């Protein structure tokens, strides 16, 4: 299948061939029809990749601190090699995916094959996404509009933190995709809205959606406009959806707000704040986290444990559903936000556009292909010369292609002259990267196929610790010699399973 990857060392965006992921427990396998390029977030990743080492360091000072700490413990050479390997690993792009459900994993209910669904899946022809990060699309919502659902949920979560009431005046600073969606949502809440930006075309859209506007490029004063529009009382809340290194958006927000006003940050701005600005008005300030409760919680996202609706009314999945319901009711207009359409094969052109220009909604379209016929989970690496091996050497397969495998184990096995035949990983991206780097002949997401290959006599297991025992048992049952990084198992019950 085709997937969009970015090289963090060079900033190059490419369309790569990777194996289709296997559907895991609690997950959905989706055949993609549309994805949305998030110009703000993905531009930052592209710009980061194009920067040199010094520019990268300036953009991520927290990572620099980690590197310095690693140097003090592991030494300079080891640390530099680890940094190079990290930057050499391709990064999958995207998080706004629409498609048709092909398969469901064990433990999934509420979805059936054939459903149209949205998810936070990557830009790829097929994605495997945990069930709590997916939602069904109503019949009267088209795929192009549905592609904005995840972006819409980000705006909605910021608004939920503001907790606006009917008739309140709210400022939206930054009228990119999230800002323009926020304007529509706030108007649907019955709020009076002021939109602030430098771009005349985005300001025109905000006015079309019912907002008063301030054009900073024309030198208009946002504080004066906010005071005038709020009858000199100050606005009730400010939602900051801008992306800038300047501290001015937060300072302006404090000047606009009434006493005990609320400020919520959704975007990325400078955060050198004045205590006096907040103290005198008793203002509240909060940073919004992505799509809503459940984000970055592995129990919710990876294991499918939902939060009880009586205690957490709006999880990220329920925020997705709320956006889709409003689209179905005609209360949101996302079609107007589409500025460009590209095929998946032309994705590099789309990323050049967002890097050099200032587009709004950039959609990627995926070709219609027979879903079952194109489910290739084992691919041959034909564009890279395999490593030379001596006759009679051991034939190896690798289960897992993470940092330890790619940085330590696989290079060590390669130096022995072993015959490296196949490597498998859950997503397929890392297995393709490792296979190309070390001359391995196959990359796979189907570990059972690797174990069933009679040419592979031994396997190295380099997966997460809690899966070691399972794969050791599977490999022994397939009559393979096994190398496993420690620990062999985490508890005695796993050892019993291996013995059986």
Q: d(Cα 412, Cα 391) in Å, to the nearest integer?
A: 19
Q: What percent of the chain has pLDDT over 70?
A: 90
78 pLDDT more than 70: no
pLDDT for 69: 73
Q: Kindly state the percentage of the chain with pLDDT values over 90.
A: 70
Residue 395, strand partner residues: 419
Residues in the chain: 500
How far are the Cα atoms of 77, 196, 257, 357 from residue 73, in angstroms, in the given order? Answer: 11, 48, 48, 43
| Cβ neighbours, 10 Å, residue 436 | 16
Per-residue pLDDT of 334-382, as tens digits, reads 999 999 999 999 999 999 888 877 889 999 999 887 655 578 999 998 7
pLDDT at 204 over 60: yes
> Model confidence at 60, in pLDDT bands (50, 70, 90)?
low
Question: How far, in Å, CA of 432 to CA of 132, rounded?
Answer: 28
Nearest-angstrom CA–CA distance, 314 and 25: 24
Q: Which of 439, 401, 424 is nearest to 475 (CA)?
A: 424
Confidence label for 79 from pLDDT (cuts 50, 70 and 90) = confident
Q: For residue 50, what pLDDT band results from cuts at 50, 70 and 90?
A: low
* Greater model confidence, 100 or 486: 100
Please give the residue that has the higher pLDDT: either 84 or 261: 261
Q: How far is CA 86 from CA 90, 91, 146, 251, 411, in A?
A: 9, 10, 34, 37, 15
CB atoms within 10 A of CB 369: 11
pLDDT of residue 390: 53
Structure tokens at 200: 């005349």
Confidence of residue 486 (pLDDT cuts 50, 70, 90): confident
Q: Is the pLDDT of residue 416 over 60?
A: yes
Average pLDDT over residues 247-265: 97
- In this model, does residue 391 exceed pLDDT 90? no
Query: Among 48-57, 185-194, 264-273, 291-300, whose mean pLDDT is lowest?
Result: 48-57
Alpha-carbon torsion (183, 187, 189, 194), positive or negative: positive
User: Which band of pLDDT confidence, cut at 50, 70 and 90, is reported for residue 52?
Assistant: low
pLDDT value, residue 403: 83
- Of 74-88, 127-141, 221-235, least confident by mean pLDDT is 74-88
More confident residue, 66 or 237: 237
Smallest CA-to-CA distance from 104 within 27, 19, 32 is with 27
What confidence category does residue 47 fall into, taking pLDDT thresholds of 50, 70 and 90? low
Cα distance between residue 352 and residue 340, in whole Å: 12
Q: Which residue has the higher pLDDT, 482 or 498?
A: 482
Extract the tokens encoding 254: 């404090």
CB 316 within 8 A of CB 290: yes
Q: At what angle do helices 468-477 and 492-499 cross, to 10 degrees?
A: 10
Distance (Å, whole) CA 93 – CA 99 = 17
Q: Which of 91-95, 115-119, 369-373 has the highest mean pLDDT?
A: 115-119
Q: Quick one: pLDDT at residue 382?
A: 76
Indicate if the pLDDT at residue 133 is higher than 70: yes
């Amino acid at each position: 299948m085709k997937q969009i990857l970015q090289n963090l060392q060079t900033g190059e965006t490419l369309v790569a061939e990777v194996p289709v992921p296997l559907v895991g427990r609690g997950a959905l396998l989706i055949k993609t029809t549309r994805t949305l390029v998030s110009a703000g977030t993905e531009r930052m990743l592209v710009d980061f990749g194009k920067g040199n080492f010094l520019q990268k360091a300036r953009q991520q000072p927290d990572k620099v601190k980690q590197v310095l700490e690693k140097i003090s413990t592991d030494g300079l050479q080891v640390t530099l090699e680890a940094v190079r390997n990290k930057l050499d690993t391709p990064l999958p792009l995207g998080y706004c995916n629409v498609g048709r459900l092909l398969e469901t994993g064990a433990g999934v209910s509420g979805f059936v094959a054939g459903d149209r669904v949205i998810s936070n899946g990557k830009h790829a022809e097929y994605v495997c996404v945990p069930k709590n990060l997916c939602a069904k699309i109503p019949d009267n919502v088209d795929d192009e509009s549905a592609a904005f659902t995840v972006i819409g949920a980000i705006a909605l979560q910021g608004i939920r933190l503001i907790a606006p009431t009917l008739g309140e005046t709210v400022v939206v600073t930054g009228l990119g995709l999230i800002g323009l969606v926020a304007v529509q949502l706030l108007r649907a809440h019955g709020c009076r809205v002021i939109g602030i930006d430098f771009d005349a075309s985005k300001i025109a859209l905000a006015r079309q959606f019912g907002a008063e506007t301030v054009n900073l490029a024309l030198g208009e004063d946002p504080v004066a406009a906010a005071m005038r529009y709020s009858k000199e009382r100050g606005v009730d809340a400010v939602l900051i959806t801008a992306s800038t290194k300047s501290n001015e958006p937060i300072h302006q927000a404090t000047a606009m707000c009434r006493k005990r006003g609320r400020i919520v940050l959704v975007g990325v701005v400078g955060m050198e704040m004045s205590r006096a600005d907040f103290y005198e008005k008793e203002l509240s300030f909060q940073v919004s986290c992505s799509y809503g409760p459940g984000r970055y919680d592995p129990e919710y996202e990876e294991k499918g444990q939902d939060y009880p609706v009586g205690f957490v009314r709006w999880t990220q999945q329920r925020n997705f559903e709320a956006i889709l319901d409003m689209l179905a009711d005609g209360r949101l207009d996302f079609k107007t936000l589409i500025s460009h359409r590209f095929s998946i094969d032309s994705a590099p052109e789309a990323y050049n556009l967002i890097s050099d220009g200032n587009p709004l909604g950039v959609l990627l379209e995926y070709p219609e292909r027979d879903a079952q016929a194109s489910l290739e989970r084992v691919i041959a690496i034909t564009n890279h010369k395999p490593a030379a091996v001596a006759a009679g050497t051991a034939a190896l397969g690798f289960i897992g292609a993470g940092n330890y495998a790619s940085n330590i184990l696989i290079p060590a096995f390669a130096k022995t002259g072993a015959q490296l035949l196949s490597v498998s990983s859950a997503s397929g991206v890392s297995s393709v990267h490792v296979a190309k780097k070390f001359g391995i002949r196959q990359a796979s997401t189907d570990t059972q196929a690797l174990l069933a290959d009679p040419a592979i006599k031994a396997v190295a297991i380099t997966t997460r610790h809690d899966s070691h025992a399972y794969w050791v048992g599977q490999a022994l049952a397939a009559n393979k010699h096994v190398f496993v990084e420690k620990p062999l198992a985490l508890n005695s019950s796993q050892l019993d399973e291996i013995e059986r």
